[in-house]
Structure 1
Amino acid sequence: MRYVLLTWNPGPHNEEQYTPEQWLEEMVIPLRSGDQPEGDRWSIGTNWHVIGEADPVCMLRQGVHGRGIVAMGVITRGPFTAAHWNTAKDGDAHYVNVAWHRAMDLNQMITLDELEQAVPGFAWNKVYSSGRIIEGEPADQLAALLGQAPPGKQPRKKGPGPQYGSAEHNRLVELEAMAIVTGGYEDEGWTVSDVSKQNLGWDLEVRRGRSVNCVEVKGATGPLPEFFLTPNEHRAAAEKSNWVAVVITDIFTGEPGWHELSGADVVAAAVPTQFRVTSCSSVISAASDYAGASRAGADTLRSTRWRPRHDT
């Protein structure tokens, strides 16, 4: 496994190649709609002799306005020469053609700090040109972070249930699920509002005519619609008749599944899987019989995460 690291520096005024708005309109939105962005040629510096067709690529945004991975794709045409992209320079430069698979909104990129934690064996702060190669253990770590590791290298939970990885990988799963669900509702004529930062107990509010649904979005890299709920999400599922959970399974396989569950079904299937101890008194009696715990024991032991059972 290896990656070719392409670079993009928007310059001191955050406007070279793409402004943030252009990046959203010309890269992120087309890819979410299943369309390739215009312009697939990218320069690769001096590493042209070791780069080839079908190599996976990552786009590393550079510069003072935020650094991190913002897109992933694959090389569709091996190195070739053309006039240098910098018109102030004479001669040719080396390029490849790229088909992009995913592009992230810039405020959701995988930051340099996250990359240094998840892929410590690569010198992220010493990338000075496009076309750097990431290989060996750092490439395996990056593949796991991106959800692209081949079988046997991607850390997986045994069994067919959801796969839980690093916080960075989980965020990629969440972002991909949000994009799929948003696009799915929009294709059906719904108006979609992202309210995920408001801590309401759901991620999207979708409207069509007089109908309004509160949609909690979940993603899983495995085939089963199993997931965790926060107490706030569990409360909303129990109290709001228009709350639904949409679970996207097999999220990085190219054939994701869509599972829509009512709040009543989710609450009926939810079981407590994790507890928070708020004092040391009566913990043993509460833990030994959670359902029939004494008032003192129940006060010290609070359920903090819920997970719907798959067998209901």
Structure 2
Amino acid sequence: MGEPGGPAVTGPAGGRPSRRPPAGGVPISESPFLRVRNLRAGYGPARVLQGVDLEVEEGEMVAVLGQNGAGKTTLLRALSGMVRGRGSVGLRGTELLGRAPEEVARRGVGHVPEGRGVFAPLTVEENLRVGAHLRPGSELAEDMRHVLSCFPVLRAHLSQPAGNLSGGERQMLAIGRALMARPRLLLLDEPSRGLAPLATRRLFDVLRAISTRERVAMIVVEQKTQLAAEFAARSLLMESGRLVTPGTAGASGDPSAPGARRWHGSPPSSDVWQGAGNRSVPDVWQGPGDPPAPDAWRGPGNRPAPGAGQGPPSGERSAPGRPGPWGRSHG
């Protein structure tokens, strides 16, 4: 991770990295630590990410908020190489897109998926050693000491099966295993999920300390907005596969109103659903009971204009008629 005694990058706000956020919340930097440009990714014909632009500085913690199905998990998977995509993902000037996950990890990206995934039959120490498989064996002892200094509660459980740990301890172990690879960018998918409030705060205190002291950049997917506001340097909102700045929608929530949202990157084309969720696949009824009769409008207020999306969020779906993530058109 960071080198002790290295030069500190400080700004006017009590030691935070210096940056100048323009409209839209993306920091301006001549050479950002992480630069994502027009990232499109998905699964098969379904495009989930619709062109994500993002910059993260070294040592900065950025929270990504949003409803289920908005594309948050897909963003982390695309950054770590687990999902194929198009566009550009540059880490310290090195292009990562198109590389295998293990090569992305070697370049300094650690990924902690949702669910506190640990190897339950293995001991805590064995789980940590798994995370160091890309590191030189001569540095294993030093890496282990470093992780245990971050999560000292694990020291007393090194010889115990990971399945015996509490939920909070399992999450610490999952993050500790990722830290064994000494990442420069750490991707965390809902680390607070299922944790008690006290365990959540302790975990985020450690994450903030690692980010600040070790200069590890972090992208944290979260559902708890207050938690994100307290610990993250910035919070961004994922809507329909795009990053927007929270709080920029108009009072009516109408995305077509002037200035309703600030998009990170090019605004979506007119045939892309821009509501507070993803547009449903055409002709698929997703409500309760039988589908409504043709031309029957059952929503509140006046009937929407033809072509307006009427479905609720239904998971990370592609926009109909848009090109797939690898250039083919699916409509």
Larger helix share, 1 or 2: 1
Larger Rg: 1
Higher relative contact order (CA 8 A, sep 6+): 2
TM-score, structure 1 length as denominator? 0.29
